[in-house]
Amino acid sequence: MECGHLQKIKYTIDDASSYVAGYTPQNILTNKPSDSNSRWSSDTQTHPQYITLKFEPAIVQAITFGKYEKTHTNNVKNFEIYGGLEPTSMIKLCEGAMRNDCVPETFFLRTTLGKERFPIAYLKIVPTQCWGAGFNYSLWYVELRGDSDKAAVLSGMDAVQKYRQHTAFRLCMKMFRELGMDSCYDALRKHVTVPLEHKQLSLLYDVIVRQGNFLRAEELIVEAAECGYLTDFLAIQPPVPVWTQIVPEPGELAPGMRGGHQMVLDSAGRAIYLFGGWDGTRDLSDFWQYDLMKRKWRLISADTEEEGGPSPRSCHKMAVDADNQMIFVIGKYVDQTTRSSEPLKNDFYMYDILRERWTVLCTDTSADGGPKLLYDHQIALDTEKKSLYLFGGKILERKNSDPGENFTVGGLYVYDIPNNSWRCLQPDTKSASQTPRNYILQPRCGHCVVFHPGNRNLYVIGGHHNKEPVKDMVAYNVDTEECVLLGDADTGDTMPLGLTQRATLDLELDEIYVYFGGGKGRTGAPTEGLEVFTGSPNILWIFDIKKNKWSICQSPKQTTPIEPVARYAHQLVYDSTNKVHYLFGGNASNTSATNKTRLDDLWQLQLKKPPSTEITRQITYIIRKQCYRELCKDDPVAAVRYLREEVSAVLDKSSPADVTEFHQLPSLLFADHLIREDDTVETSKVPCTHQRRVEVFSRICNFFPPDMTPPRENLVDLVLP
């Protein structure tokens, strides 16, 4: 998302919690990155500290924070932003985190209430943490951008007023109905045009709460599923990971144990290609093809160097152009012992898939304006513009004999395939040096990169810089050269990034998959440096590009019956046609569990969404539990039969939590007796049948889209005690 086309919004300082003399709030109006005094600085770190900006009503879409030219202990790390038409009535617009560097950062704000855009006249910035422990907060420069068009603002203000009125009416109707004040509810409903909820849910409320007709309620849920009302809820459910190991038949050839190898998947040719790696004693130069249709490996070449291809190597990178049937190979790791004698030239190769022939594109890309020899970098292809992008990585230098020493980090380069030419978009930099102000992307190593041809973005994920993990995700637009921060793990708005992750992209679903193998590497080792142990193998995060939202497919506490062992230096590729991931090899994190240091196993991973019947089962279970509770009071014998035959029939026996709850349900048969015998229990605290039914209805509403349900909030919760 870009903000350069948005209007710049002029503002004044309306209020501030505190400030140190000389560091007034007005300083954030001007951008002076070289002036250490040009900033607002609070005089305390006691919460809350804030600055409130005032401006003519506008739809504020983005905020940019300018910074000092050097890192600073007072720099704000975490923050929250609120906005509204009045300073006493604001809603949260954004929560984010900033890096401690000199590069300005832009954050996009919430702009809609319901389905309408809303204007604000006040914006409140609330720092919650700074980079230096015990230091006061500092902001250097703030710029607002958005839409200040009068027609759009007036339309938005009118929409906000209507939204607030309609919400107030609906909150009143919800409260009257839940309290059983039917006359008040009916009277208000006659005078208000906005409905409380969808008619299907109104019918469901009558059936459950007023009639207690649970059998009819189950029928209505089935009807709702058939009408597609539960589709949205089903869509947001995390998929279930299903791992299957692919074992070669006895006597079949297959790649041996290795780590630091590379794989690509040719979607047109329906094949996976694997090249190189380290087997524990030497670098490899064997080249393999895995046929996805025949599910068999084929050794294309035992030594590509003998056939005019790349020499044995590991920690290199490969990319495939499926349209033109080409594979590109660049980079490698050279051990410290041979680095002083071996020429440090960054050779660059192309493999013609149809002709099965290697071509040397360049013997040293640095001599042609490209990158120096490096490893732990990433490359991505733009087939439309016939370009290849290379970003980051560690540049090999003869003098750098100690893995812990300062090293040079690769910049951002683009290779023009038809013209066989390189262009540097961002220079290399020393790892321990401050990120230059004109740098678009923060330098890093051991990261992930995927390219989205639709929105023209390079997505850069994780890595490390200055011997510290880089815990962010950014989108770099290759056409506009604009970079946007999409999330930072320090604020919890993205997954806990490390260096064992591998990323893939599904263009059809607009999703990025980030896979953690549960690896734990050795600081300074190739592809293993500064890796973060994730605690459990096979964690998969999914990033929804359209919603800018992360979800976890498999949490660290979950395990599937069959799954790969924890590993690092592995490779993962994705078949977007059949929605299948393939994982091969790597270094075992726990050698005692596998008796192997390096692995040679091939796995496929399928992400399966729960069927619609699973959603109806969950709702039916909620309904039948309430029916059972009421039978416990009226007919205990029938309740026992109902629990055994009806409730157990919709129980998820694979869920430990559900099974535990089910085993506790028989105790409800004795609840009334225990209450009568125990004088310390007040019967008024026991929810009545009406309240229980309302709770059941509210739980069921969570399965429906928000625009179909009553307001999630309750009117009484808005009143302060």
Unique residue bearing structure tokens 């339309």 = 155
**pLDDT value at position 525?**
40
9-22 pLDDT per residue, tens? 999 999 999 999 99
Query: According to DSSP H, which parts of 350-481 are helical?
Result: none
456-492 pLDDT per residue, tens? 999 999 888 877 788 788 899 999 888 877 776 554 4
Structure tokens at 293: 């249709």
Q: Please state the domain extents for the chain.
A: 7-148, 197-236+612-718, 241-376+393-405+445-473+484-608
When pLDDT is averaged across residues 629-633 and rounded to a whole number, the result is 93
**Cross-strand pairs, 550:** 543
Check for a shared fold between 7-148 and 241-376+393-405+445-473+484-608: no
Unique residue bearing structure tokens 């207690």 = 212
DSSP codes of every residue in 676-703: HH-TTS-GGGSPPHHHHHHHHHHHHHTT
117-165 pLDDT per residue, tens? 999 999 999 999 998 878 999 999 999 999 999 999 999 999 888 888 8
- What is the distance between the alpha carbons of residues 367 and 433, in angstroms, rounded to a whole number? 25
- What is the distance between the alpha carbons of residues 210 and 631, in angstroms, rounded to a whole number? 16
Whole-prediction pTM value?
Answer: 0.74
Of 713 and 488, more confident: 713
Q: pLDDT band at residue 687, thresholds of 50, 70 and 90?
A: low
Give domain 7-148's CATH superfamily. Answer: Galactose-binding domain-like (2.60.120.260)
Could you say which DSSP state residue 362 is in? E
Query: Omega of the bond prior to 48 within 30 degrees of 0, cis?
Result: yes
**Cross-strand pairs, 159:** none
Phi, psi at residue 312, to the nearest 5°?
-55, 140
**pLDDT value at position 435?**
61
What is the rounded average pLDDT for all residues in the chain?
Answer: 88
Specify the 3-state DSSP secondary structure of 595: coil
Whether 681 has a pLDDT exceeding 60, the answer reads no
When pLDDT is averaged across residues 653-665 and rounded to a whole number, the result is 89
Query: Omega of the bond prior to 564 within 30 degrees of 0, cis?
Result: no
Q: Are 571 and 595 in contact (CB under 8 A)?
A: no
- What is the distance between the alpha carbons of residues 87 and 218, in angstroms, rounded to a whole number? 47
Q: pLDDT band at residue 432, thresholds of 50, 70 and 90?
A: low
Burial pattern 94-103, b for ≥16 Cβ within 10 A else e, equals bebbbbbbbb
Of residues 642, 659, 668, the one with CA closest to residue 215:
642
- What is the distance between the alpha carbons of residues 220 and 198, in angstroms, rounded to a whole number? 13
Whether 676 has a pLDDT exceeding 70, the answer reads no
**What HEC string does 551-562 produce?**
EECCCCCCCCCC
Percent of the chain with pLDDT over 90: 67
Q: What is the Cα 546 distance to its own chain's centre?
A: 12
The length of the chain is 721
- What is the distance between the alpha carbons of residues 527 and 504, in angstroms, rounded to a whole number? 18
Give domain 241-376+393-405+445-473+484-608's CATH superfamily. Answer: Kelch-type beta propeller (2.120.10.80)
When pLDDT is averaged across residues 401-411 and rounded to a whole number, the result is 71
494-537 pLDDT per residue, tens? 556 655 689 999 999 999 999 987 655 443 344 333 333 344 57
Residues in CB range of 694: below 8 A, 6 or more apart = 178, 209
Q: pLDDT band at residue 61, thresholds of 50, 70 and 90?
A: very high
Structure tokens at 377: 């970098």
